Structure 1
């Protein structure tokens, strides 16, 4: 599976327009724009020029609370050879019809269109990722996959598929931009940028976003590693210990012993925690009703879900749903 960036049509400098949504991640924006600046410095010529825009031309507040001045509104830029959407928290709250229409016009005019962190959500809402490979931050992957089944979601650091590209997070944006510069300018310039940033390893697109859960828990037992993977892939159901035992051909007592010895909790408690974490992500990142979130995370009723949720997070599910969560932040 290749990740080749197409060449940009037109003369240099290549124009890049970065659309910032409210609550964008400043580090993701910096990882997107700074490699372009450094490319010009390392190469000794202006290969790239860039502008930051907002939907209305007004400054945009980042997730760290700082306001960033922009170069104009989306209406001031009817066409850009390269457009990159940079967002982070709650992209569904800021993906407006004018933004979607502007992105579709850019696509019709032949733009290369990309996304950083949760920007893939915006492109998917615009219908620009249908039939394309894409990636998004791992926290948003479950909700994204459920809402946009027509997108070929992967867990790679970044994806390039024809004239669409996406990076899963801040450091992944750096890798993606270095890959783009390597192919559009030269490998030597990209390596020089990495050296200047003391970024001593340019990661390839196929590197997964996260280390496996078994490695995060330092689980070396092969059977436990398989069971952890089994549970992580079954967050839509309340798995019984008997099912886990059957999958390994051992007794339920052996399953209980493994988890107590290596994880510190029972397998049911561990799996419930995973399902509740997924539920919290869905509540915060989508507009799914609480009852639907409960069902999709393997809880038999909304009441059972609410009790478990309050025990785990000391919050009600309604405190983390949609606009309520945004106001709380």
Structure 2
């Protein structure tokens, strides 16, 4: 809802931080609010930072942050933002989920940055909504919360829910929200003050294309790499890839060996193993189900490949604890 010129009271924002939250994502969330007040020349926003119990919270960089109080101290806030990072499932409490549900029922705009979307999804607040989360957490999130319309964008604002995928994405999302609420002039002024010279749109992708990350310049190799990234749940025959490009199997193998130093099959297996590792660490899926989901013919084949790739067993990366809601 836009701020009108008749508004005399600043809009209240409550930021809930969890253990191991990302300090840069937190700063990208709160600093635009501070700067909005400066640019507008009047208090548009006020904010309160809370933890589940009112005690200081340690960020992922090791710094402790004092908070203003506990969630129980806030009966209602028009805007609520959850900020977390590593292992949000380990730091989510039933009381926290209940508090978030009550805020939503009372009409609050409820959002999250980085892995905070996991907390909102656990509370059932993202069912049927578009949402995004950090790309590392996306595979596990999609498996656990199929009712959420997960995207790979920088941020999503869908009715009274909003999510940002990471640190700089939080800045883009906050600027977009401030533009909607206080006007584009204020949002642009904030960006100028921060020397943030390109406000990205919500639909911007989180990551560079894999071909750019690997500095692959050959156009055929770029297309083949993109094909592999879309096929993480099954094996791919090199002959089929060659046919799609109208080249020989030997030419596909040469492209991978010359530019990446590995065979096509080895490269794709590594991608599927990385996908499996994310599912092991971030979900409670059975190891056998993960092996099948990632295109391995048997649990034994998966275990052998996993040990070779990571020098540890799949079971060593599984068994995350999920608190009941």
TM tier, smaller: over 0.9
CA contact (8 A) 2:283 2:320 kept: no
User: How big is each residue's C-alpha offset from its partner over 1:235-289, in whole Å with a ceiling of 9 and x where there is no partner?
Assistant: 1112222332343343322221221122221000100111111112112222223
Q: 1:297 to 1:8 in 2, by over 3 A?
A: farther
RMSD: 1.8
> 1:91 Cα deviation (Å)?
1.2
CA contact (8 A) 1:16 1:49 kept: yes
Task: Tell me the distance in 2 between the aligned counterparts of 1:91 and 1:270.
Answer: 30
The equivalent of 1:213 in structure 2 is 210
Alignment partner of 2:87 out of 90, 107, 117: 90
- Higher mean C-alpha deviation, range 252-261 or range 33-42: 252-261
> 1:221 Cα deviation (Å)?
2.7
Q: 1:298 to 1:11 in 2, by over 3 A?
A: farther
2:2 maps to 1:7: yes
Query: Aligned runs of 1:17-32 on 2, under 5 Å?
Result: 17-32=14-29
2:138 maps to 1:138: no
Instruction: State the TM-score, normalized to the length of structure 2.
Output: 0.93
The equivalent of 1:238 in structure 2 is 235
Q: 1:301 to 1:20 in 2, by over 3 A?
A: same
Alignment partner of 2:97 out of 89, 100, 108: 100
Aligned residues: 319
Task: Tell me the distance in 2 between the aligned counterparts of 1:8 and 1:57.
Answer: 30
The equivalent of 1:71 in structure 2 is 68
CA contact (8 A) 1:159 1:167 kept: yes
> 1:191 Cα deviation (Å)?
1.7
Task: Tell me the distance in 2 between the aligned counterparts of 1:300 and 1:95.
Answer: 35
Q: Unpaired runs of 5+ in structure 1?
A: 1-5, 325-329
Alignment partner of 1:307 out of 304, 309, 316: 304
CA contact (8 A) 1:8 1:81 kept: no
The equivalent of 1:278 in structure 2 is 275
Task: Tell me the distance in 2 between the aligned counterparts of 1:287 and 1:280.
Answer: 12
Task: Tell me the distance in 2 between the aligned counterparts of 1:289 and 1:98.
Answer: 28
> 1:8 Cα deviation (Å)?
6.5
Q: Unpaired runs of 5+ in structure 2?
A: none
Question: What stretches of structure 1 move > 4 A for 4+ residues in a row?
Answer: 8-11
The equivalent of 2:13 in structure 1 is 16
Query: Aligned runs of 1:1-329 on 2, under 5 Å?
Result: 6-7=1-2, 12-323=9-320
Q: 1:50 to 1:207 in 2, by over 3 A?
A: same
SS at match of 2:205: coil
SS at match of 1:116: strand
CA contact (8 A) 1:92 1:286 kept: no
Task: Tell me the distance in 2 between the aligned counterparts of 1:170 and 1:30.
Answer: 8
Task: Tell me the distance in 2 between the aligned counterparts of 1:200 and 1:156.
Answer: 20
User: How big is each residue's C-alpha offset from its partner over 1:178-237, in whole Å with a ceiling of 9 and x where there is no partner?
Assistant: 111122112222222222222121111111111111122222333222211111011111
SS at match of 1:139: coil
Task: Tell me the distance in 2 between the aligned counterparts of 1:143 and 1:249.
Answer: 35
